[in-house]
Amino acid sequence: MSLIFLFLCTILFCAFSAAEYKPDWSSIDSRPLPSWFDDSKLGIFTHWGVYSVPAFEDAWFWWYWQGEKKPEVLDFVAKHYGNRTAYADFAHEFTGEDFDADHYAEIVKSSGARYFVFTSKHCEGFTNWPSKYSWNWNSKDIGPHRDIVGELKHSIQKQGIHFGLYYSLYTWFHPLYISDPQRNRSEYVQQPQLHFDKWRAREESIRSVDDKIWFQTDYARELLREVPECPILEANIDGVARTYAQWAEERKRGLIYFRDIPHKSNVTGTMATPHHTKWLEATDDSLEDFLKRH
């Protein structure tokens, strides 16, 4: 997949003991799986956002439309939305007028699920909480005008269900990616950290000119600060690893998994086979690709 600097990760649910952990892969990978997660067996991972307005294909709608330009997606947009060319226009229609967090939590509870993970931010950058790092591209300033993450957190936890968050790197149509002639964001690769040093150098050069630039670590700090008891976090690259390690060390609790660390991890949800480890089906894109082919 070209023109994507995408760090989709999966989830490792880790408990902290009295041991001290360091902000590096081997240390993060050494933390044990908490018993509550192993006992839960069933969890729900939900995507809901601006892409739910066209509700065609999946959460990657923007990429299929503007990036890959899949004929069936172009035909769908032309048929239902005429000459619309801006993905951002869908945000005004993402109203959530029927969204009731308490009712949703009751449905999750009745399913038997013991944990719930919500997509706080997908690859198009729209945040489902009033993030100060997303301009007005968030659920409080446009669309439903609500803090969806906050409402769900309260309602899900009220049902005694573990609540978690997923977010991915600000990407796809971010101007810093589109206008980068050096292509330092790199083509999509299976091991994106191999290219991160180039992008970090690019980031630093931009920061020296304009302090308004922001990247995934800012979002991580914000989420960890505003949802301090949240036990689950999907995250991106080493900057977030440091942020998360610092946060978790203070509370001696927390859960994390990075897609691109070795398969020996406690939970595997990579784009590959589970290799005899715990597996989170919803975070394995290989399953989705298989279903589309068959």
d(CA 185, CA 24) in angstroms, rounded, equals 22
* Cα separations in angstroms, 256 against 25, 165, 215: 11, 10, 19
178: in domain: yes
100: in domain: no
Structural domain total, the chain: 1
Pull the structure tokens for residue 111.
Answer: 């399913």
60: in domain: no
104: in domain: no
Domain span including residue 205: 25-48+112-293
Instruction: Kindly state the DSSP code that residue 270 receives in the 8-state scheme.
Output: S
In the predicted model, residues of the chain with pLDDT beneath 50 are: 1-18, 181, 183-215, 235-237, 253-254, 256-277, 282, 284, 286-287, 290-291, 294
Of 43, 61, 36, the C-alpha closest to 51 is: 61
Helix (H) / strand (E) element for 102: namely: helix 101-111
pLDDT of residue 287: 46
pLDDT of residue 136: 87
pLDDT of residue 2: 35
92: in domain: no
pLDDT of residue 138: 93
Per-residue pLDDT reduced to its tens digit, 9-31: 333 333 334 467 777 767 766 77
pLDDT of residue 48: 95
pLDDT of residue 31: 72
2: in domain: no
271: in domain: yes
Torsions phi, psi for 245 (to 5 deg):
-60, -40
- Alpha carbons within 13 A on the beta-carbon side of 25: 12
Are the C-beta atoms of residues 10 and 270 closer than 8 Å to each other?
yes
pLDDT of residue 156: 96
d(CA 233, CA 255) in angstroms, rounded, equals 6
12: in domain: no
pLDDT of residue 244: 56
pLDDT of residue 66: 87
